[in-house]
Amino acid sequence: MADGRLKDKVAIVTGAGSRVSDGVGTGRAAAVLFAREGARVLLADRDEAAAQATRELIVSEGGVAEVFVGDVTREQDCERMVARAMENWGRVDVLDNNVGIGSRGTVVEIGQAEWERVLEVNVTAMMLASKYAVPAMAGSGGGSIINIASIAAMRPRGLTAYTVSKGAVVSLTQALAVDHAKQGIRANCIAPGPLYTPMVYSDGMSEELRERRKQASLLGIEGTGWDVGYAALYLASDEARYVTGVVLPVDGGVLLRGPER
């Protein structure tokens, strides 16, 4: 583990817990995979118990991780989060921004409060985390920022606030890539398709809907948090040293299909 692809690196993963205690979302998956490859990982989440469950999993495998409890929509918490990583390990190499919420409805149907909350959680939180991570990364000689968007950014379908927020994540990622390349910082974005994660099944999901989502993939298989986690691991590693500003769909080919049949 200590000699892995992220040996000697320090990673911050936001949204590193899970809505279901034994579930694996994109944040928990990335955190576990980073640790397996030798990174020391700061697990940021509002839910301390959820983050501790991720830490226990990492520690049980011989990895190194600490928990940070905070709300990344608050600037002071993002500042404290990066400061904690620096205090613990003296550097920041990877920021994996996983926090996000869903929303349904058109502009006619959605209220202003929900619109603003979706943008705050899905976009502003990534901006604030990056604001404090960038100087720390620059001081460490560079780093990798990974933002989780969605294929909804490329294919709107009645989720207007969510779609707009994920489109903004793509633009934010590209702006970070341009603005901070000279500091040795890469910024990339993963756009998941339908995944079977605690975020989507914790409130209940019928087997019929689950199967329909699976068949939306060209491959006819179901995506999970691990699929996004492995993509994040690649983008975090030096194997992606020549990759910045990209939007990487992890969707089983859903984007290549037409609208829902």
Question: Is 261 within a domain?
Answer: no
Task: Check residue 18 and give its pLDDT.
Answer: 82
Question: What is the average per-residue pLDDT within 120-134?
Answer: 98
Inform me whether the pLDDT recorded for 226 exceeds 80.
yes
Dihedral sign for Cα atoms in the order 111, 112, 113, 118: positive
Inform me whether the pLDDT recorded for 114 exceeds 90.
yes
User: Which stretch of 6-10, 79-83, 251-255 has the lowest confidence by average pLDDT?
Assistant: 251-255
Question: Is 237 within a domain?
Answer: yes
Inform me whether the pLDDT recorded for 199 exceeds 80.
no
Task: Check residue 21 and give its pLDDT.
Answer: 66
Inform me whether the pLDDT recorded for 1 exceeds 60.
no
Question: Is 260 within a domain?
Answer: no
User: Which stretch of 15-29, 82-96, 137-151, 221-235 has the lowest confidence by average pLDDT?
Assistant: 15-29
Question: What is the average per-residue pLDDT within 178-203?
Answer: 88
Q: Could you read off the pLDDT of 9-62 as tens digits, one per residue?
A: 999 999 999 876 678 999 999 999 999 999 999 999 999 999 999 999 999 999
Question: Is 169 within a domain?
Answer: yes
Given the structure tokens 């604001």, which residue do they identify? 131
Task: Check residue 158 and give its pLDDT.
Answer: 82
Which residue segment(s) compose the domain that 79 sits in? 10-254
State the pLDDT confidence band at 3, using cuts at 50, 70 and 90.
confident
- Report how many domains make up the chain: 1
The answer to whether residue 162 is catalytic is yes
Query: Which residue spans within the chain are E strands per DSSP?
Result: 10-14, 40-45, 64-69, 94-97, 143-148, 185-192, 247-250
Task: Check residue 261 and give its pLDDT.
Answer: 38
Inform me whether the pLDDT recorded for 195 exceeds 90.
no
Question: What is the average per-residue pLDDT within 190-204?
Answer: 79
Bridge partners of 144?
94, 186
User: Helix crossing, 75-89 with 125-139: angle to 10°?
Assistant: 30
Domain CATH for 159: 3.40.50.720
Task: Check residue 87 and give its pLDDT.
Answer: 98
pTM (2 decimals)?
0.93
Question: Is 2 within a domain?
Answer: no
Choosing from 162, 196, 234, 242, which is the catalytic residue? 162
